[in-house]
Structure 1
């Protein structure tokens, strides 16, 4: 009987726990009893703890009692993890079980706990899109993928935000018992067995500049107000009042992307809003957002967010 241990703590994201637990529990309906998953919640103490949404959870065992080995050990995420290091017992438990498990990893911001336990160095990992840059900054030896729903690097498995723990767990069930079992579980839970696209389809590309009075912010506003137009670095440099060479350098320094990259992201963001809120024809949206043609918009969308404009509209358009 394969054993699954999920580490929890005060302030844990309840869905990071419940999602994987339900996947493995439902999988037991479709596999032989001898192969059924035995899922245990592990925490520092056996006393009830409160999740971030107010729900009370009780662990099956403490870190001291549950030393492994396990077939799979996961640490759930929590809203405070990106800014607050976990307590020592959790980190010690993670470091210990990682050496004994067939697979180990994290759900959502649980990746920060893995980082503090020294388990992310030189590994390919992902986390919630909103905290991916922060994870990369805190643990620069990790190779953080900002867009993946889940990711496997050898024994290490990591997932994106919250419900992505379900995607990861379904993928692990598919590894263990085949895609037909994972599909049966997905149907029971009324979720996709494998979501198309990455996290980019859920995240905004553009964020507000740190200084909205800076020349770079002026250029960003200029682009977004005239998104239908075409732009060259020379034209944008004139808006900023700089030479083209200096402007390109300063823009990358302040935003982390090239002017061309920003313009393309701005077009995608503008198109997404129209796809979500209107029934306008794709060719009209493509023209209004500066792509020129619907084919060009489709190419950029597929590259940027892993979905075509039509697929994006079907998923996110308001009724």
Structure 2
């Protein structure tokens, strides 16, 4: 019997809890009694714990009753993970998580692990919208921005929301083989391994600041003129800087080179057109500044793990 514990806290995301636990529950249908998962929930106290959608859950155990010696200990995400400090929970995690054979988080539950000091020195991930925030909050962690889930030694973390199901399926496959995990995936009507990572859902270019500076002016110019030829010489001229100095300042302030920004912005423009219009690929490529469908297809495959046609199909 393998024990799985889900740690609850006020304002957690119910799907982050229910999705992975359903994977383990359904896996039990295909396992002998001695191999099954024993599922439990742990809360700060005996009171009902309210999820972010208003539903209240009664924990099986309190922190005082749970010793942490589980085969798998998980923390779901939710607004309460990154808006509130849960000192009692993080103190409990700090003292007991290492008793678990494996521990981890779904979505933004990584923030609670981070506050307990459990992300330092590990490769981790979270919901694509919060990866930069996680990196800034816990600089000793190696935050991945695209992976659906990351398994690093004793720690396993997943991307946003339904990625917790992918992570749980990978754990079932590790524990009991791919056949059992595939059977569970079929029951849930999900695929065993989805194509691409979180990048296919997240914008590659963050929102540009509104305050005027030479670099933000260039960023806005790029976003408004993607169909034009955008060279370092032209962009540095707009910023009234030499090409080398401009590239250095741009990279420092934006976190990517000017050409990486241009390329990412063009991919984002193409994605928006593919999602919301039925324009031919040739027109999408032109309006996004790629010049050709072939060039757009190559960059989509490199950055998103799928072709423009495959990307469009998932939104139609």
| TM-score tier after normalising by the smaller chain length | over 0.9
**RMSD of aligned residue pairs (Cα, Å):** 1.5
**2:119 equivalent to 1:120:** yes
**2:87 equivalent to 1:87:** yes
**2:10, 2:80 within 8 Å by CA — same for their partners in 1?**
no
Provide the rounded CA distance (Å) in 2 between the counterparts of 1:226 and 1:131.
28
Residue in 1 aligned with 2:289? 290
Which sections of structure 2, spanning at least 5 residues, go unmatched? none
Superposed CA deviations along residues 135-157 of structure 1, whole A, max 9, x for unmatched, are 11111110000111100001110
Provide the rounded CA distance (Å) in 2 between the counterparts of 1:79 and 1:307.
31
Structure 1 position 212, deviation (Å): 4.2
SS at match of 1:99: helix
1:1-319 paired onto structure 2 within 5 Å: 1-88=1-88, 90-317=89-316
Provide the rounded CA distance (Å) in 1 between the counterparts of 2:236 and 2:312.
35
Structure 1 position 189, deviation (Å): 1.1
Superposed CA deviations along residues 104-131 of structure 1, whole A, max 9, x for unmatched, are 1111111111111111111000011111
SS at match of 1:81: helix
Provide the rounded CA distance (Å) in 1 between the counterparts of 2:285 and 2:6.
46
**1:46, 1:62 within 8 Å by CA — same for their partners in 2?**
yes
Provide the rounded CA distance (Å) in 2 between the counterparts of 1:24 and 1:166.
10
SS at match of 1:216: helix
Provide the rounded CA distance (Å) in 1 between the counterparts of 2:151 and 2:24.
18
Provide the rounded CA distance (Å) in 2 between the counterparts of 1:87 and 1:127.
21
**1:82, 1:131 within 8 Å by CA — same for their partners in 2?**
no
Provide the rounded CA distance (Å) in 1 between the counterparts of 2:97 and 2:50.
26
Superposed CA deviations along residues 161-198 of structure 1, whole A, max 9, x for unmatched, are 11111110011011111122111111111122211111
**2:68, 2:97 within 8 Å by CA — same for their partners in 1?**
no
| Count of aligned residue pairs for this structure pair | 316
Moved more, 260-269 or 291-300: 291-300
After superposing on structure 2, the runs of 4+ consecutive aligned residues of structure 1 that deviate more than 3 Å are none
Which sections of structure 1, spanning at least 5 residues, go unmatched? none
Provide the rounded CA distance (Å) in 1 between the counterparts of 2:4 and 2:276.
42
User: TM-score, with normalisation over the residues of structure 2?
Assistant: 0.95
